[in-house]
Structure 1
Amino acid sequence: MTADQVKGKRFRGALRYNLAKVEKGVAEILDTNFSGIGENIIMKEVAMIKALRPNLQKYFYHTSLNFPPKENLSNERMKSIAKDYLSELGFNQHQFIVFRHRDADHPHIHILVNRIGFDGKVVSDSQDYARSEKVIRDLEKKYNLTPVTSSRQAVERAMTKNEMEMMKRTDTLSVKLKLQTIIGNAQKQSHSVPDFIQALEARGINILFNQAQTGFVSGISYGFEGLIFKGSALGNGFKWTQLKGGLDYEQERDHATICETNTRTRSILSDNGLRQSAGDGAIHQTVASNMPKRTTASAQRTPGEDDTSISNFASGQRQSSQKFGRTESACEEPSQRHFELSEVAKEAGILVGGIIRGLLSPVDTDNYEDMATINEFKKKKKRKIRR
């Protein structure tokens, strides 16, 4: 079972949507505590309770509980599940109405509930999605329903509706599904980062690591059949934070290998260009005449995952920087690069005090990743000078 939640301030719109389904004969009302089922009656009663908290904007939930197609559930069983769901989330003394829809290939119900209780108390919406997921996992056990893998445990991102429709039309696997299969097999067969890279490139997959100048890797993306997928678009098991745990990875040792892989990938994708695709779940954008363009992240972004844009991915040029009047190679050893930067910075009078000197020193490599501390120091120094 899955739950889709929407918080809002337009109770009437959600009510009309569901009542229209009832009028068309594709939905029915399973349960409610309103005195009537007409739109005007319900909205008058909602307004009475809303007056207890006039300043609360998002005062209602519109939630759909979705069951697998093979679940054979009676109205009474669905009604019981809905009431337990509301009770577990704290909606014990609140206005609600439950609709069962029959216009899809899977059983599902829609629940409209007022967050403001009859006593004027409001159910908190803090961590509501996480709390909802816990409740539906418990309800699956209680009612012996087909279990659904939670979003935290899911290794592979499920196919979208557009992907499934495309597979039906073309009778071929989607690019994303192919990628998930190939990468999954490569993970099982690889022990080190070079092994993993070699296994994927041998199968036509180009990898781009989100690698900082320090060598630190924060994310990964995959290029396959003209499309680019962030690790998070494929599922938790394909993100760098998960991958590196199953590989023999050392940042300093594997820095050059990863950097060379990035250079190869950018060159290949720049030569081939990228095509636009609908419904594959990829990060994609047409690249005309090999000119780089920006792209936006996919719908559900995972914190800390690769934010690499199409321009970085498609560019055939090696990364360079004009900082301090010099050009830096992306594959230059981190220790040497930081040593040179620190020397230039010292000459410019930027480094003050032993702490900052230590952060930029090539001796203490553990601090290379934490450039935020240096930047914060610079900001504070500028503020002091202005004062």
Structure 2
Amino acid sequence: MVAKIKSGKSLIGALNYNENKVKQGKAMLIAAVKYFKDPNDLSFNDKLFRLTDLASMNQRSKTNTVHISLNFPNGENLADDILQEIVKDYLHGVGFSTQPYLVYRHEDAGHPHIHIVTTNIKRDGERISLHYLGQNESEKTRKAIEIKYGLVKADEQTKQKPNLKADVSAAEYGKAETKRAITNILGFVLRAYKFTSIPEFNGVLGVYNIQADRGSKDSRMYAREGLVYWVLDKKGNKVGVPIKASTVYGKPALKTLEEKFKLNAQLRKPFKDELIKILDGILIKPLTKGEFQKALREKGVQCILRQNDEGRIYGVTFIDQKNKAVFNGSDLGKAYSANQISAQLSPDPVKPKFQHQHEAQANNEFSEALAGDKLINVLIAPELEDLAALNKFKKKKRKGLNLYHYANRRKRTGPQKDHRLYQAT
């Protein structure tokens, strides 16, 4: 069993995540402990307010959300009542036995797992400390549960060998077991591609929806040169549970990769000049970012542009798919660094933000006509538009005449009579 603890500031966000999975038919609520109704009778607000009421007891604490996932190896399918007991023992071991919590069984991945949503704020406003919770109490409790329930021990799971004969395709969370998918992709990428750094490595892995992660620079994992692998969704966001490099077949940890970086630096050299020639031939004429990447793809080179939120390019990686050689732009020379490439590329054409009202209306009418197969409306659209404009002009003219007669009538009848006449109309 593998436990993953996430803390946050949004109880409604954690609850929404699980409830949306329920609506999609990918999860089921199997327990609601210390609630005042049966799980099937709880509304969304019932689930939420029970937790937010506790969280409100401590206004100073911004972190009030605890979202835990317990993950089991493929094939270890446990009954709901056993899962409920495991959750009870686990929360007792990590100091959450007094807290209300919700348990969801998820079926959106290749391995069985459950999610627990609770809060770390007690009834008296005291905050349950989350400092080193995952490293200390969680690990001890996890190991005790594995023994008590006869579960497969996480530390002793057999490392899966990559299936080198299978066609390697991009990972898709929930379609296959996460660890198996990562193992297969890593086995292929490590064997086939020549890269010399983590960013270059991630440039290739990103094609297969995988990312190698060292953690933030101030984290313990980074300081200890640890490495984990994530599955990414279509938007590039991390999903599921990270897999430690030490548990993957071949142990592609940082030290192993660094040795491979040195070897790859020599193996990719013969392909450097060929890639530079391709770039020089493409950069002769001005191109936008999209046109530049498309032109390279036609030559068998994939260009990954790393951009910030403002769209500024701060990194570029070239993947020569023909020779399986990976280069950061600066490795090819200063002229191919991110800053220089960005300076040579033309800005994307700016699309007009506003459209004349009658043009927008005409486009909408055209789309509606096509959707309903009423092509006659499209054919006579110009005549209808002219007719509408003529009617609008007549209304304005009629309105002007009315004002003229109204002014003459006022002169004849005087302001008092005119006021009564206005009320009558």
TM-score, L = length of structure 1 = 0.49
